[in-house]
Structure 1
Amino acid sequence: MHKEIDIKIKDALAQDLQKGVPILLKEGFNDIASLPEGAILQLRNPAGKFVGKGYVGMQNKGMGWLLTKNENEPIDTHFFQKKIATAIKHRVDYFNSSDTTAFRVFNGEGDGIGGLTIDYFDGFYLISWYSEGIYSFKEMILAGLEASVSYKGIYEKKRFDTKGQYLEDDDFVKGERGEFPLIVNESGQKFAIYLNDGAMVGVFLDQRDVRKKIRDTYSKGKTVLNTFSYTGAFSVFAAAGGATKTTSVDLAKRSLSKTTEQFEVNGIDAEKQDIIVMDVFDYFKYAKRKELAFDVVILDPPSFARSKKYTFSSSKDYTNLLKDAIAITEKNGVIVASTNNATFGIKKFKTFVEKAFKDSNRKYTIEEEFSLPNDFRTSPLFKEGNYLKVLFVRAK
């Protein structure tokens, strides 16, 4: 049973919640030290008037999420089932798709429950818990999911600090265990997925529209460099789109075997592609020294990364990263500039592009813009939730 706590919050937070802002920011509370993870909060403005019901789940600047503005609505299995069933209705087209069998079913605050995501992989569901607080509702949420869908199996990822008590291979929840790799489809291509192998499953679903655009519009007859390539998903789509050659660069040693596998499940000869295990920043220096140049350069770095020699923060260093890319981009080539940093918006991101090209003494045009695909539903009152920004930039 989850403890319910009646609590007064500061007026600024109360006004935000009345508008529908979903996050409970720490500065909106007078005292959060005594609030246990998973507690249900009856939130009241300074005058004592009810403004909403939420739960405690520590995440970055937030200490929880709004669940309902109905004072009489219980937070129980029926509540979660209703939210999940509504989310599934919004994804009917995805469930009915013949060429895509991997997508997001439930996207946190965009579907009414911050701190929780559920992804679908060809009959298997993957639940990601982003705080100890939301994890405390596990049995209710599982029951709500089971009442809403049929499934082969359910897996989970705990994306919060478990103080060493969580074993990475303990991701199976119920149903049947999958045989991995699980081969799923995306826009007619295939991905090898591992739901039982640590935090990363093999592909980032939020880049689906970008991958399709690269394959269908920008790859035929082109040389493509994919940096921070992870498992080579962009490279697979570029090769499938008729790229003359792809080059995938990532510092992680396992990126070689993972990228090779993704090519192979798509019937693409990995031997004819370049897969390089190397620090991306060192590769830029190498490419410039060797006078290499590419028709398409894909930049999709993590928001923050640290290697032995470099520390990268997208909010501070993206302009320099772009300058490195511009230096090895062919005249009239395309840079696909992407970031998942939620701390700045598309307007600021465009200033990085402008400065990089000005400093490089080259002109450019922005040909395409992308944000999250439709299955990644967001709240218009929580801009940080719509984190993905992708620009297709033509370098003159």
Structure 2
Amino acid sequence: MQKLIQLKIKPNFVSKYRSGYPLILKEAIINLDDLKEEGAIVNLVDEKNKFIAKGYYGKQNKGFGWTISRNEKEQIDQEFFEHKLKEAIKLRKTFFSNSETTAFRVFNGEGDGVGGITIEYFNGYYLINWYSQGIYHFHEDIINALQTVVDFKGIYQKKRFDTKGQYIEEDDFVTGERGQFPIIVKENGVNFAVYLNESAMVGVFLDQREVRKTIRDKYAHGKSVLNTFSYTGAFSVFASLGGAVKTTSVDLANRSRSKTIEQFSINEIDYEAQDIIVEDVFNYFKYAVKRSLKFDMVILDPPSFARSKKFVFSAEKDYKNLLKEAIAITENNGIIVASTNASSFGMGKFKGFIDAAFKESNSRYTVLEEFSLPEDFRTIKEFPEGNYLKVVFIKKNI
């Protein structure tokens, strides 16, 4: 029998949850002391004990769990998760039949009805990301549900939680056959080497799929391209395949060099004709200004928070100034791809950063196009912060 806690919601939050908001906020709870063990089932009720929604207790970022049902009598069991998974897979039917793209998100947390978990598909292998001890409490039911609903080569998992919110290193294999790594997946016909057994990040961020395709198909030809915070060089690979004259990839992580070389090599691109630089991006901007280096395209996709020896970067506080540094080394009529995955602000505020950066740089600009999450990263209107990705293609005018 599932342990059930009646979680009383403060009056000023009741309408928010009745409208479908899924994240259980600490500040919304009256009887906080009743929450003892993560994974407990909770019924959200108003002060008159009238049912609002059913969910679970699990600490994740700013939340204390997620609502996952509007039915007071619904059991949260394997059958429940099977139903959620079937619905999610049905919505991604076209992805499974696309031989040119063999890596995509199958289940996107609260967008598919269960916050705290994502599931991704990599050419026959499934990767489950657990974001709290609370959702991991249901791991047997969820893994059994996934095995029932899909055909798979193997299943891997990442436990992306602990007391400090950092990734727990361990053997990530769950069931099926172990992968021979790297697994080679395709994205719009381009190869990526993926490792499901190494760390929290596997080698490619799937949410930037349409942005990479747009760079390749519309903007890269004949351009010199600077890819900052380049990770494994995915943007650089697409730019090169789109006809870029040269790409320069800059990232602070030592492994970024070997990983980027690997991504170029599996796409039969001469990596020695590209620049792959292991350096703090902030230092590289200063170097580029000193050397009077300019680029036809600058890709700016920093983490929402980053710390190096000399800098602490927060997208909300520092993106404007970072963009000013990019503007300074972008050619006239050049393109800046400004991107952020910070969920703490929306596209309107992000465009405000862009406008301020260009004004303070005494430069004019044109917004060419915008992107948010692709369709496999399903979101719901009741939780706008779930649609975290904001990408703007900007032309620096003369």
TM-score normalised to structure 1 length: 0.98
Q: Distance in 2 between matches of 1:356 and 1:2?
A: 53
Pairwise CA distance, 1:166: 8.1
Q: Distance in 2 between matches of 1:362 and 1:32?
A: 51
Pairwise CA distance, 1:165: 12
SS in 2 for 1:33: helix
> Is residue 289 of structure 2 the alignment partner of residue 288 of structure 1?
yes
Cα displacement string for residues 7-58 of structure 1 (whole angstroms, at most 9, x for unaligned residues): 3222233222211111111111113233120000122111111111110011
In the TM superposition, 1:47-196 aligns within 5 A as 47-161=48-162, 168-196=169-197
SS in 2 for 1:12: helix
User: Structure 1 residues 124, 216: CA separation in 2 closer, same or farther (over 3 Å shift)?
Assistant: same
Q: Distance in 1 between matches of 2:165 and 2:267?
A: 37
Letter paired with 1:81:
E
Q: Distance in 1 between matches of 2:193 and 2:19?
A: 42
SS in 1 for 2:257: helix
Q: Distance in 2 between matches of 1:295 and 1:165?
A: 37
Pairwise CA distance, 1:163: 7.7
Matched residue, 1:4: 4
Pairwise CA distance, 1:226: 0.0
Cα displacement string for residues 176-215 of structure 1 (whole angstroms, at most 9, x for unaligned residues): 0000000000000000000000111000000000000000
Unmatched segments (≥5 aa) in structure 1 = none
User: Structure 1 residues 167, 337: CA separation in 2 closer, same or farther (over 3 Å shift)?
Assistant: closer
User: Structure 1 residues 162, 60: CA separation in 2 closer, same or farther (over 3 Å shift)?
Assistant: closer
Matched residue, 2:355: 354
In the TM superposition, 1:171-250 aligns within 5 A as 171-250=172-251
Pairwise CA distance, 1:310: 1.0
Q: Distance in 2 between matches of 1:322 and 1:112?
A: 36
Q: Distance in 1 between matches of 2:175 and 2:247?
A: 39
Which 10-residue stretch deviates more, 90-99 or 1-10?
A: 1-10
Matched residue, 1:20: 20
Q: Distance in 2 between matches of 1:304 and 1:162?
A: 18
Cα displacement string for residues 152-191 of structure 1 (whole angstroms, at most 9, x for unaligned residues): 0000001110689986241000000000000000000000
TM-score normalised to structure 2 length: 0.97
Q: Distance in 2 between matches of 1:205 and 1:94?
A: 13
Q: Distance in 1 between matches of 2:179 and 2:2?
A: 33
Cα displacement string for residues 88-131 of structure 1 (whole angstroms, at most 9, x for unaligned residues): 00000100101000000000000000001000000000000000
Letter paired with 1:29:
I
In the TM superposition, 1:271-282 aligns within 5 A as 271-282=272-283
Which 10-residue stretch deviates more, 18-27 or 243-252?
A: 18-27
In the TM superposition, 1:272-351 aligns within 5 A as 272-351=273-352
Q: Distance in 2 between matches of 1:329 and 1:336?
A: 11
SS in 1 for 2:33: coil
Matched residue, 1:31: 31
Q: Distance in 1 between matches of 2:310 and 2:23?
A: 37
Q: Distance in 2 between matches of 1:16 and 1:88?
A: 29
Letter paired with 1:324:
E
Q: Distance in 1 between matches of 2:350 and 2:6?
A: 41
Matched residue, 1:40: 41
In the alignment, is the contact (CA less than 8 A) between 1:13 and 1:25 conserved in 2?
no
SS in 1 for 2:244: coil
Q: Distance in 1 between matches of 2:2 and 2:188?
A: 42
Q: Distance in 1 between matches of 2:10 and 2:303?
A: 35
In the alignment, is the contact (CA less than 8 A) between 2:7 and 2:31 conserved in 1?
no
Q: Distance in 1 between matches of 2:210 and 2:2?
A: 40
Pairwise CA distance, 1:147: 1.2
SS in 1 for 2:218: helix
SS in 2 for 1:57: strand
Q: Distance in 2 between matches of 1:366 and 1:163?
A: 39
Q: How many residues align?
A: 396
In the alignment, is the contact (CA less than 8 A) between 2:7 and 2:30 conserved in 1?
no
